[in-house]
Amino acid sequence: MARFFKKREQNKGLPPGALVFIGQQKMEQPELYLIDYSKEHLEEKPIQRLAELEALRASKTITWLNIDGIHDTELIREVGEFFSIHPLLLEDILNTGQRAKVAQIEDTLLITMKMLNFDRETSQVKSEQLSIVIHQHFLITFQERSGDTFEAVRERIRGAKGRIRHSGTDYLAYALLDTVVDNYIYLVEHLGENIEELELQILENPDKEVLGKINVFKRELQFLSKVMRPAKDIPRQLLREEVSGIEKKTEPFFRDLEDLLTHVIESLDTYRDLTSDYLNMYHTVMSTKMNDVMKVLTIFASIFIPITFFAGVYGMNFDFLPELHFKWAYPIFWAIVIGVVISMLLFFKRRKWL
């Protein structure tokens, strides 16, 4: 499936809010995992049915429901009905080609962005859509497949480390987004290290393999730019006055997140410029090598021009060629040829053509 644009043929002609999964199914069955906590309380367990959350509706605790596998549209419909999530927000959740955005309808806040990882086997950046829904004291995360991206956040909740057990769903959302952005930074640093190594390879051995690496990195950086640039606006959108659900005490953390994303985008732009410079350097090195080859061939051709002339003259079939029957004609011929070659080489050396 295309990475830069997901086909939307499935919902062609359907009304807005129609629940159609757009993307590639990445796991067989959806998995639901619950973490419910407060300062003094912690409960976590996998759940099978949404009805198990009924008792938590009136609770004052923070409830984090993680859903892995969003291909099941019936499950997403049930979640929407249980939490009163607007169909337009559910439609965005099911569209894995959705750009990073913040949307709020009534008292439900939706944050959508991409989680990224680098596949060493294919040398490609793989993306997975993350949707975060904040509804009262519930926070719901939707992922395309199960993974350990947020395990560090779960460990902080279990160990009651930092502010997370003393804050609301807005700080939990920040912690999750911060984990995603930290992974962005790691990914750009990893690609950057590999890109910087290309300079020496270009200068020492500019073969087709190096050219292939440059083009691969240019493609991946272009994909990262498409994913990360919209994500940069998420913290700013969350801090808008018309967006509810973000407390004043949490706002500085989202501003810090915006600074991190700005740093990532600037680094991304630097490496994109660097790959373009390396591509130009590659073509320059190849042109220089070609010029060196042509220079050597031209010198050899120039040397053989007078030799060919002599050989042509004395290869003519005339009976009365003056030097034809001279005893020392052959050695003299070679002496002249060698003398001409040496003289031309010395001339080229003096003019610094060699």
pLDDT at 331: 82
With CA atoms as reference, report the closest residue to 66 among 136, 126, 181, 144: 144
**Which one is the CATH code of 14-285: 3.30.70.2740, 3.30.460.20, 3.40.50.2020, 3.30.1360.120?**
3.30.460.20
With CA atoms as reference, report the closest residue to 87 among 66, 68, 105, 99: 105
Are the C-beta atoms of residues 289 and 204 closer than 8 Å to each other? no
Handedness of CA 155, 158, 161, 165 (dihedral sign): positive
Q: What angle do CA 146, 150, 154 make, to 5 degrees?
A: 115
pLDDT at 11: 60
pLDDT at 154: 93
Kindly report the pTM of this predicted structure: 0.80
Name the stretches of the chain with pLDDT < 70.
Answer: 1-17, 241, 317-320, 324, 353-354
Q: What is the DSSP string of 171-226?
A: HHHHHHHHHHHHHHHHHHHHHHHHHHTHHHHHHH---HHHHHHHHHHHHHHHHHHH
pLDDT at 3: 57
Domain limits, CATH 3.30.460.20, in the chain: 14-285
Helix (H) or strand (E) holding 110: strand 108-119
Residue position matching structure tokens 């590639």: 24
